[in-house]
Chain A
Amino acid sequence: MTNNEIRLEEPLPEDVIAAGRDIYAPPGGGAYWSILESRIMARISDSSAGRWWMVVGGWARSGLVAAAAIIVATIVGALLLQAHNQDARTAYDSLSQPTVTESLTVPEGALSERDGPNTRDATFRDVISH
């Protein structure tokens, strides 16, 4: 090992180190650390609050999606129900209204077992023609 290498291993002189500590000392002395710690914890609290709102915001977004899905499902359900009711009403109306053949009143005795098919057809045509 050369003298130069030995010299490089040597620490800086004490007065230089002391001057360096003076240069790099934070202002405010001992009280400074309490202030710095308070500032750090205030930022941590802000950060935590921000994260809390982000979580709530996430919940809110999920809630909005769920609410929208419920609204869409309700509307679709209502439309389906309405369509179903409409079909039921139409079916009921079709059953309750008399058909053309049912509305025809055939005079009693106009058709009898004794009449043959030709007679009954002739009678039917005669009734319809009126």
Chain B
Amino acid sequence: MTDQSRNAPDERTLTAAAQKGDQAAFGMLVRLHSKRAYAVARAIVTVHEDAEDAVQEAFVRAYEALDRFNLDQAFGPWLNRIVANAALDLARRRKVRTTDELHESLAGTFRDPGEADELRRRLADALTKLPERMRSVLVLHDIEGFAHSEIGTALGIPEGTARSDLHHARQRLRGMLRDLRND
């Protein structure tokens, strides 16, 4: 354990301070949780800009709801639920987005288009064809490394449903990438 981590206030202390209006403490919570919050949002809305909007909105909502947060529970799962709700709200408003636009936004995340190989193109295409919740579960579990219970809490579904969705998502994805895998 480093001196810095030994001296760093724990999450409960930070949350308690933030509840009393300490913005610096809330800033530290933002630093601790922004990456996973982004992952949750991105798994749901797919598009980077929308995920960023959802994360910002979620942190504002969390800050405003801090007085209702129970210090006996963990901050991360509570926040991820808020992030997922913000992302789902945004996704509902973006329903007009066509599959082509979604595919374009996923393909557009390649930092160097020259490196975008066939697998990434095919995977991006296949992901857009999965139902929203299945895609969210698969991305959160297989790409972002969330546990089933965390996914269930964030998306507001039973853990068993998250497992089932993951299996079906993998099955569909394998089917869509089968010809590529046999090359």
Q: Which residues of A contact B (CB under 8 A)?
A: 8-13, 15-17, 19-27, 33, 36-37, 39-41, 43-45, 47-48, 51
Contacts and interface: CB of A to CB of B under 8 A. Distances in A.
Interface in B41-66: 42-43, 48, 51-52, 55-56, 59-60, 63-64
B111 A27 contact: yes
B35 to A, nearest CB: 6
Interface in B14-47: 23, 26-27, 30-31, 34-35, 38-39, 42-43
Chain B contact residues, majority secondary structure: helix
B167 interface: yes
B23 A48 contact: yes
Interface of B: 23, 26-27, 30-31, 34-35, 38-39, 42-43, 48, 51-52, 55-56, 59-60, 63-64, 106, 109-111, 117, 119-120, 123-124, 127, 139, 142-144, 167, 170-171, 173-174, 177, 181
Nearest to A4: B171
A2 to B, nearest CB: 13
Contacts of B111: 25, 27
A19 B27 CA distance: 32
A40 B23 contact: no
Nearest to B177: A16
20 contacts: A12-B170, A13-B181, A16-B123, A20-B142, A22-B120, A23-B124, A24-B42, A24-B109, A24-B143, A25-B109, A37-B30, A41-B23, A41-B26, A41-B30, A44-B26, A44-B59, A44-B60, A45-B23, A47-B63, A51-B64
B43 to A, nearest CB: 7
Contact of B119 (A9, A15, A26, A45): A15
A8 B173 CA distance: 11
B39 to A, nearest CB: 8
B38 A40 contact: no
Contacts of A17: 142-143
Contacts of B38: 26, 36
Contacts of A16: 119, 123, 173, 177
